Amino acid sequence: MAEFRRTGVLPLGKLEGKVPPRERLLRGPCATIECVEWIPCNPCEEVCPVGAITVGDPITNTPNLDFERCTGCGACVGTCPGLAIFLLDLSGGIARVTVPYELLPVPETGEVVELLSRAGEVLGQGKVTRTRRVGTTWIVTVELPAEQIFEVRAVRVCNG
Amino acid sequence: MRLERHPILEFVRGKRITFTFDGESIEAYEGETIAAALHAAGIRVLSRTRSGAPRGLFCAIGKCSSCLMTVDGIPNVRTCVTPIREGMVVESQRGPGKLNPVFRHRPHEAVCKEAEVVIVGAGPAGLSAAKVLLNHGIRPLVLDENPHLGGQLIKQTHKFFGSRAERAGTRGFSIADELVEEIEGEAEILRQARVLGLYCEDGRRVLAVAHAEKLLLVAAKDLVVATGAQERFLLFPGNHLPGVYGAGAVQTLMNVYGVKPGERALMVGAGNVGLIVSYQLLQAGVEVDAVVEAMPEIGGYHVHAAKIRRLGVPILTSHTVVRALGKERVEGAMIAQIDGKFEPIPGTERELAVDLICLAVGLNPSTRLLEQAGAQMGYVPELGGRVPLHSPLMETTVPGVYVAGDCAGIGEASTAMLEGELAAFSLLAKKRFEVREKIALVQRSLEKLRRGPFGERPRTGKEKVFTLMKEVAVG
């Protein structure tokens, strides 16, 4: 049995090939899809405006993302039913992560929020740089230390 | 407590009304059920057993009888599916309840009715079947015992998996709205219509239906039974306490009526239902202390587990609830780690200060009507227990009686919708409509959804059912 089936937390090793390389992120935002199981689902493939995501047939394939084609638009982040897609960005010397957000209150731009790991540990605080709605889901972009870009996968409003 | 704001849902409440509970005046909103209105007022003990033990909600969809109360002098009313009305007199019962001596039963004749096709249950399966029939010029009679159509879809706030054909990416409650809109005004729909009996003899199919205080006798040519499922219970001391709720009941309270089911919860079961409802509890502002799962691994999709893990909810595998604490309602839960034989390991007990214990330990198909109709049943654990045998085209051993959705074997809503369509097409094929291509298409979609490791159980289960069905046909 894979360890993440017991813990609910994906180790980085399980995401090999799913994380965009650093050089790509220096050029601007790019999605990362943390979807590793064969489940029947493909809205990410359908919603991608540039055809960067392939699920194909059968529909239980895990999605494959073409990092070079991805424009970091975030359509998939707000669409994925599993809330398993995030945007990473290291351009302009600032590290940012964009996460789907379905709680209240929705943080405001400029607000400082807690940064949470895949296991829910508080890794620090970061400033929200952008919030927007994709369909019925909010997506929130937050600035954070570059070394946390592969760790932070949720935000929590302080005293919320 | 009522929820005023929710990240996904908007609660549109009806007119303010007043009713009495054991003589005490309580305010509620039109459109709420009696049980939801009482819960919103902080009342969890609805009735008592003969020995005085408190009883509360459990399933909240009219299936478990845990919420029976006396309403306007009539005992044993299922308060979870009965809408509250201005001036209603609601009383708790002690034991089975007694008829108010002042209450006079009005005898009346049964109303007789005929229908070409009757659909029992307006969940994803039943509504999908209705739509297909309407598209082919058949106006079905749709019966549902709940005040709302849509079955369990109406409380699903998450976006659905699957492909666009199965409305993937759309939230469950919106799918319910879409399905209802497609048939409303076209099909004949009776809400709060409870099918009490189904009699299939000499090629006749007659349903006895309680509706609007009348008995309807409906003669149907063909029948699609889509009665869904009921939640499993779990044995542990204190499981009778109000505050031990089925996951579906918790969803009904918070997502349909906007009533907070508790302040702090323990979730029992880490299948998809347990994981999804834990996330929904967080969305409703309820803290989730832990999810316990008896198996050594999480049963549901990793992505659902990841959503609650990153918000700090621990998932404890090889753990279970040992007992509920409290006298009149849940005031805590004792959990413990369990060994390979599912026995609690001494010294690992831990107390959680929760007021809600939510059970998400599986579902059983609701098959009573089918058994009554004489449909042959089979025990298929992969599908949730006893299921009606049926062909790959969803016909049972009673000719003209079709099944779809959870009552034909536990699955999820996307497959229920497809099975509903399949049952309808199959029925149409018997009426000599040319639908062979449609049938092949739906069967291919079903097969796609049942691929992969998570599709193995339903896939194996259905194969068993079809094999048993063949044996019956041969024998």
| DSSP annotation string for B396-445 | BSSTTEEE-GGGGS---HHHHHHHHHHHHHHHHHHTT---HHHHHHHHHH
CA nearest to B237, candidates B332, B139, B161, B153: B332
User: Would you put residue A120 in left (φ > 0), alpha (ψ -120 to 50) or beta?
Assistant: left
CA distance, residue A27 to nearest chain B CA (Å) = 28
B333 and B393: one domain? no
**pLDDT, averaged across chain A:** 96
Alpha-carbon distance of A160 to A113, in angstroms, equals: 10
Q: Do B448 and A8 touch (CB under 8 A)?
A: no
Alpha-carbon distance of B382 to B271, in angstroms, equals: 14
Alpha-carbon distance of B350 to B344, in angstroms, equals: 11
Give domain status of residue B6, yes or no.
no
**Neighbouring residues of B291: CB distance < 8 A, sequence distance ≥ 6:** B267, B268, B269, B270, B274, B275, B278, B308, B313, B314, B315, B316
CA distance, residue B447 to nearest chain A CA (Å) = 10
Q: Do A104 and B455 touch (CB under 8 A)?
A: no
Q: Do B7 and A154 touch (CB under 8 A)?
A: no
B5 vs A40, A104, A136: nearest CB: A104
Say whether the ipTM exceeds 0.95. Answer: yes
B224 and B146: one domain? yes
Q: Which residue of B has its CA nearest to A153?
A: B310
Q: Do B453 and A5 touch (CB under 8 A)?
A: no
Q: Is B158 on the interface with A (CB under 8 A)?
A: yes
Does residue B178 sit in helix, strand or coil?
Answer: helix
A82 vs B5, B304, B309: nearest CB: B304
Interstrand relation of B16-21 and B287-293 (parallel, antiparallel or unpaired): unpaired
Residue numbers in A near B163 (CB within 8 A): 40-43, 46, 59
Residue numbers in B near A47 (CB within 8 A): 169
Q: So what's the pLDDT on residue B298? A: 98
Token output for B361:
């330990």
B189 and B176: one domain? yes
Give domain status of residue B217, yes or no.
yes
- Give the mean pLDDT of A44-62: 96
CA distance, residue B128 to nearest chain A CA (Å) = 20
Give domain status of residue B204, yes or no.
yes
Give domain status of residue B99, yes or no.
no
Q: Is B213 on the interface with A (CB under 8 A)?
A: no
User: Which of B363, B379, B397 is the last residue before a domain boundary?
Assistant: B363
Interstrand relation of A85-89 and A30-33 (parallel, antiparallel or unpaired): antiparallel
What's B24's domain CATH number?
A: 3.10.20.440
Dihedral (Cα; B410, B173, B249, B307), 10-degree rounding = 80
Chain B interface mutation, best of A60, A115, A123, A156, highest count of B Cβ atoms under 10 Å: A60
Question: In 10 A of CB B213, how many CB atoms?
Answer: 8
Give domain status of residue B164, yes or no.
yes
Q: Do B310 and A82 touch (CB under 8 A)?
A: no
A6 vs B297, B452, B453: nearest CB: B297
Interstrand relation of B214-225 and B16-21 (parallel, antiparallel or unpaired): unpaired
Mean pLDDT, chain B cut into blocks of 10 residues (475 residues total): 95 97 98 98 96 95 94 94 97 88 71 96 98 98 96 96 90 97 96 95 90 93 97 96 98 98 98 98 98 98 98 98 97 98 97 98 97 96 97 96 98 96 98 97 94 94 97 82
Residue numbers in B near A138 (CB within 8 A): 7
B310 vs A38, A118, A135: nearest CB: A118
B260 and B326: one domain? yes
Alpha-carbon distance of B339 to B345, in angstroms, equals: 6
Question: In 10 A of CB B265, how many CB atoms?
Answer: 30
B271 and B298: one domain? yes
Give domain status of residue B143, yes or no.
yes
Residue numbers in A near B317 (CB within 8 A): 6
B342 and B383: one domain? no
CA nearest to B166, candidates B378, B453, B449, B414: B414
Alpha-carbon distance of B419 to B393, in angstroms, equals: 9
Cis check: omega of the bond before B392, within 30 degrees of 0: no
Whether the predicted pLDDT of A160 surpasses 60: no
B125 and B158: one domain? yes
CA distance, residue B283 to nearest chain A CA (Å) = 5
User: Which of B300, B330, B363 is the last residue before a domain boundary?
Assistant: B363
Domain ranges of chain A: 4-157
Token output for B456:
């193995």
Interstrand relation of B350-352 and B332-337 (parallel, antiparallel or unpaired): antiparallel
Q: Do A40 and B169 touch (CB under 8 A)?
A: no
B164 vs A1, A46, A104: nearest CB: A46
Interstrand relation of B244-246 and B356-359 (parallel, antiparallel or unpaired): parallel
Q: So what's the pLDDT on residue B107? A: 67
Q: How many domains does chain B have?
A: 3
In which domain, by residue range, is B187 found? Answer: 111-230+364-474
315-374 in chain B: CB under 8 A from chain A: 315, 317
Q: Is B457 on the interface with A (CB under 8 A)?
A: no
B34 and B86: one domain? yes
Q: Do B306 and A10 touch (CB under 8 A)?
A: yes
Q: So what's the pLDDT on residue B103? A: 64
Q: Do A120 and B448 touch (CB under 8 A)?
A: no
B87 and B158: one domain? no
Q: Do B160 and A81 touch (CB under 8 A)?
A: yes
Whether residue B69 contacts residue B58, with contact meaning beta carbons closer than 8 Å, is answered with: no
Residue numbers in B near A36 (CB within 8 A): 302
Chain A interface mutation, best of B3, B156, B307, B309, highest count of A Cβ atoms under 10 Å: B309
A1 vs B297, B302, B307: nearest CB: B297
Residue numbers in B near A123 (CB within 8 A): none
B423 and B459: one domain? yes
Residue numbers in A near B312 (CB within 8 A): 116, 120-121
B225 and B115: one domain? yes
B167 and B266: one domain? no
Q: So what's the pLDDT on residue B67? A: 96
Q: How many CA atoms lie within 13 A of B172 on its CB side?
A: 22
Q: Do B7 and A102 touch (CB under 8 A)?
A: yes
Q: Is B281 on the interface with A (CB under 8 A)?
A: no
A39 vs B158, B159, B161: nearest CB: B161
Alpha-carbon distance of B429 to B26, in angstroms, equals: 54
A154 vs B5, B311, B449: nearest CB: B311
Give domain status of residue B44, yes or no.
yes
Give domain status of residue B3, yes or no.
no
